[in-house]
Amino acid sequence: MLFAGSPQAKGRVERGNRTHQDRLVKALSREGISTIADANRYLDEHYLDDHNRRFAQCDGLPDVHRSANGFDFPNIFCFQTERGVRNDYTIMLGGNYVQLLDDDTAMPSPRQTVTVRRWLDDSLHLFYREHELQYTILLQKPKRNTNVPPKPKDNHPWRRRMVGNRQDQKGNIKRAAGTHFGLRPPFVPAANP
């Protein structure tokens, strides 16, 4: 909301209140109205139309209202926050885990942020760079991935690349003479003759 904080705006409000106070209280008393329901009915049926006819100044004023066309009101009037994406493509929201679903479009990488918007109809929408993401709310904490790649076998090509070593036909590594952990011995210059 934009509040009228300037002295000019305060003056307009007070002048309007003084105008209504002088007239409305006397009109309600004249009509014998003593309940709020009767006062509201009187305002709608009689008082407001007469007051606007007497005091409104609309002649020659242009219509300053902007058109609502082209505005995305659900994304303007919403509650918005940002959340960081975890390595398993989940975010935390209100104590729940939300799983981002891969839809072959612009997906955020882990440690990037997504924009979470709750519209006024209480629906939840996730956005990454103004592209809406698909998601599902998880009922429990996602399980960690415990798949660890196996260690390579002894005859794996990575193990064959040891300098100065060789393998026998069973895949056993034989170290060359004078080598230490597959390294060649240091260069020793020949003695001077």
Domain boundaries, given as residue ranges, for the chain: 10-54, 78-138
What tokens does 19 get?
């105008």
Q: How far is CA 155 from the centre of its chain?
A: 50
What tokens does 118 get?
């709750």
pLDDT, tens digit (0-9, with 9 covering 90-100), for 120-174: 999 999 999 989 999 999 988 888 777 777 787 877 777 665 545 555 555 555 5
Strand, coil or helix: 115: strand
pLDDT, tens digit (0-9, with 9 covering 90-100), for 7-26: 777 777 777 777 777 788 88
pLDDT at residue number 179: 47
Residue 94, phi-psi category: left (phi > 0), alpha (psi -120 to 50), beta (remainder)? left
Question: Rounded mean pLDDT of 72-80?
Answer: 93
The better pLDDT of the pair 188, 63 is held by 63
